Structures are given as C-alpha cells and as structure tokens.
Amino acid sequence: MAEVTNFDDVLRREPGPGGEGPAPRHMSGQVPGERRDGGDAPASPERPADSAPAGTGPAAGDSRRPVVVVDDLHVTYKVYSSGKAAGAAEGRKLFTRTRGLREVHAVKGVSFTAYENESIGIIGSNGSGKSTLMRTIVGLTPPASGAVYASSRPNLLGVGAALIPDLSGDKNITLGGLALGYTRKEVEALREEIVTFAELEDFIDLPMKTYSSGMSARLKFAIAASKQHEILIVDEALAVGDARFRQRSEARIREIRENAGTVFLVSHSMKSILDTCSRVIWINKGVLEMDGEPDIVVKAYKESKK
C-alpha cells in the first residue's frame, strides 16, 4: 500500500506498464502487471492511457477529498488441496502425503475510490473476498497486481484483533493505547471512558482469557474507537454483543465519520449496514458486483440470495 497525500496524479494516470508517467507501486514494491512469483498477472481489460482507473475517478465537479484509491486490485494465494494453507502445512510433511497446490484468486480486478466522511459498507457472502480486500487495503495481505493508495495508514479493527489473553483488561487498555500511539498520560486520561464504553467496570481487573467473546469484542472496539481515525476498517466487530452495544458502536462509527474520518464496515448484518453506512460495496466471488446507495445495493444483494 502506498501512502500519499495528493491523489490528483493517481486518479489521472494509467496504472501499469505502458501508461504515462511511472507505474504505481504498492507496499510490496511491485509494478502492477507483475506477479510475486515472476509469472504473468491476471489479465484485466485495457483502458485508454489518459483515463482514470475504472471505478476510481471522481465525477465531474466532485470536490470531495479522496482518502483511499483501490486500482484494479488482484489478490491470489496458494493452498493445498486438503484446504491447509501452504505456509502452515510445510512443517507437517513428515508423516503425511502432500497433495498438489491450488491457487485461489480471492480478489479480481476491484477498483473504487473512498472519500473523506464516507461510511462504506462491504457486503457479500462468506468467501466472497471481503476480508481479503480489507486486509490488502491495510497492508497485511500483498496484492498479486494492482495498487492501493491511502492518504494515511488505515487501521483495522476486527473481533480477532490481537491483545494478550493472560493480561487483565486494564493492562490490555494500556497495551492497546500505546499501540495506537497514545502516551501513558493520554491512556490514563481515556481509561475510564474506555471501561465505561465497554461496560466492563466489574471485570476490568480479570484476565481477558476469562472474558466471553462479547466482552472481549466490546473491549477491543472501545480501545480502537477511542482514537479519531482518518481511515478505520471494522471487520465484523458489531456482530457480537447485545443490541444496546451495537447501537452505541454504530453511533461511534458515525461520530468518527462526521469528524472527517472514513469508515469501512464489513458485516453480514444488513440492519447495521443500513443504519450506519452512506454507501455500500457488494463483493461477489472476488468481483465488485455493485457500488452505490445502501438501499439499492442491499436490495439487489438480498434479491440475489433468493
């Protein structure tokens, strides 16, 4: 992922070899059109050299400030046919017969632009590539080709966000706050607010490994949401907890958005998407199926499931 502050050149130039100006590079340093293994990148439709990347350019007269540009993004990974990831299975070959590798094309030529103050819902069935797309935007998953540009580093909040189970919730607040860039003094000033938001006043001194999944998720969300993020990605974090906590979480997401932040919300809850988001992107089998008004996209998605 390339971190940039001015998207004018990104939105105008032709990505990849053959366009005007230097080819954009993402976090891996690759030129789009090259594969990490040296092979050819997945083919994508050609565009005129003077046009903006498909789906990424602002409409004529659009004065909104872009904060994330995803340009013709492809993500692939290899798994063994048994379903085990290639890297994880390497150490277990002694007494098992290794089967052939299979390449999964998880994200296929996705392009879009996210603007300041948007709350964007990401929907799709299980295995559609939603989380892979978000991990690539954050920089955790390298793309096979294409590029991601961001005005600042996106922050990923997921139910699986890493804190230390053996430590108390209170100590994890310190750990999480320092990881977000707070000073110890700032963490202390925010501690009571975080505990109250997470509704863990009676349990904050207990080890996190004793928490239920809902309690852990509330604490993780409260820590991450204590900071005003320019770009925040929330992956299924609102799927746990009771209705009251979901309402408060959704209100906090709206607050982040209104304070010049951009939020991506990955969820299977269409109610959360409709209540929180100003725009929805539907990913279907790795392809951007639809991008637009929440009511319209969600209705089309529901129709497709019948």
Mean pLDDT of 229-249: 76
Average pLDDT, the chain: 78
pLDDT-based confidence at 204, cuts 50/70/90?
very high
Top-confidence range, 53-67, 210-224, 227-241: 210-224
- C-beta separation of 224 from 173 below 8 A: no
- Checking if the pLDDT of 26 tops 50, the result is no
Mean pLDDT of 19-26: 37
Reported as a single tens digit per residue, the pLDDT across 87-96 is 555 555 555 5
pTM of the shown model = 0.69
Reported as a single tens digit per residue, the pLDDT across 136-153 is 999 889 999 999 999 988
pLDDT-based confidence at 70, cuts 50/70/90?
very high
Reported as a single tens digit per residue, the pLDDT across 215-235 is 888 898 888 888 888 898 887
pLDDT score at 217: 82
pLDDT score at 144: 94
- Checking if the pLDDT of 58 tops 50, the result is no
The structure tokens listed for 220 are 């993780």
Mean pLDDT of 105-129: 94
Mean pLDDT of 23-46: 42
